[in-house]
A and B are shown apart, each in its own frame.
Chain A
């Protein structure tokens, strides 16, 4: 895949879309965008969830590298 080409395509289409929305922006009421309507703002925590050995086993099984207790991930260097 031509990564630079894909990146350029993405940027171009997003620029086109942003230009199309430029006039609409002026009609918007400031500060209302991105708000999510909710009935309540705090979650009912209950007693929390206890550790589950079955879940732990399944979770570790999905990991590319693990020992009995931990997922092993390369530290420091971001790939």
Chain B
């Protein structure tokens, strides 16, 4: 879709201004029901007019005229970036995140800021301080989270693509529920400079899009080493023989009907391409959430100490929602020196083991495939315990823990609700993963 749209804009068939105005009109009409977008960029149309001038002069960037919705935890200069929290309700970004600078340099236009779970602490889209986001494909159901608004924006045609962040599945989970593509790069592939962090050793920014090709176009622009993020790196993807692919299917718990759709898709693609697949046992794969959450809690506690109501916003503990408070209080508890060995260090050791298990698996398998989410999205208003909420992450946290790239691609619908297939590759093989994922569309 992005390629075709760019052609239309370049040829003059569509102006940037008309493209952006079209999205703004759609948002004004449909967003009151969906609540995917929290803020519009007041300058978007003016920026689009400037891009049109550049296009006429033949001096426009690679994404000229395309409209983006950005998750509200990614800094955009001059725009409210409130992480869907009262803590930062009126906070305006004082600088552009590195990914934003790169996209603007290519003349993409920020349409607005997406709703999300508060401070990315969630997997449903229900914990925003500014209202629940609905799933455009199933309006009585959650869109998933925490990049709920980003995924819903793509599904509702509010933009050409969106940006989200993924710490334990927050791009892939809502992508699966909303029937769009969501890509989490390898840890370090995309700069986190300007991302208001949830868990600094796990967070990654990535695209949500209509197709894998679209996600790839955006990834190729936002990736790369950044001096301002010391964990960022250049990765070079391996060249693999696409005629000889071996797929591993880890044995892991998920809804049997969802597994049925996934296996059906794997068989279909393998039969078509003459690839092979087999089940694989990864010993500690069912300890994902037990490993993930202690790390998440401690790092989130650390990352939120700056929200003390002095430099910006309000004191977080005084205004945040229940899940945010749970992670701060729990993280603060176990961050104490006396508990370090039992919780955080133990989880870091488990993380290392999971990482090594995946590394070993990728010595044999080119990709690993499983469902993105183990169950269908619940109905808005259903009583769900916070532990049940955590279990939505059980399949997606593994890629974050192992620091590998992972993507969710829509397969079929189950009871009219979208289901995503999750494909993972070895760390650094992001472009290979994107290439092979196109076969699953």
Contact = CB atoms under 8 A, between A and B. Distances in A.
Interface of A: 1, 3, 6-7, 9-11, 13-14, 16-18, 20-22, 24-25, 27-29, 32-34, 36-39, 43-44, 46, 55, 58-59, 61-64, 71, 73-74, 79
Interface string B306-345: 0011111111000000100111011001100000001101
Contact of A62 (B91, B201, B345, B352): B91
B322 A59 contact: no
Contacts of B95: 55
Contact of B329 (A6, A17, A34, A71): A6
Contacts of B284: 24
A27 to B, nearest CB: 6
Interface residues of B, number: 53
Interface stretch (B145-153, B224-232, B265-273, B431-439): B224-232
A6 B325 contact: yes
Contact of B327 (A10, A18, A73, A74): A10
Contacts of B92: 58, 61-62
B7 interface: no
B311 A63 contact: yes
Interface in B242-275: none
Interface of B: 77-78, 90-92, 94-95, 188, 201, 225, 227, 230-231, 233-234, 284, 287, 289-291, 293-294, 297, 308-315, 322, 325-327, 329-330, 333-334, 342-343, 345-353, 386-387, 390
Contacts of B78: 58
Contact of B293 (A13, A22, A55): A13
B330 A13 contact: yes
15 contacts: A6-B325, A6-B326, A7-B330, A10-B297, A14-B343, A21-B346, A24-B349, A25-B349, A38-B230, A38-B231, A59-B94, A61-B92, A63-B310, A64-B313, A73-B311
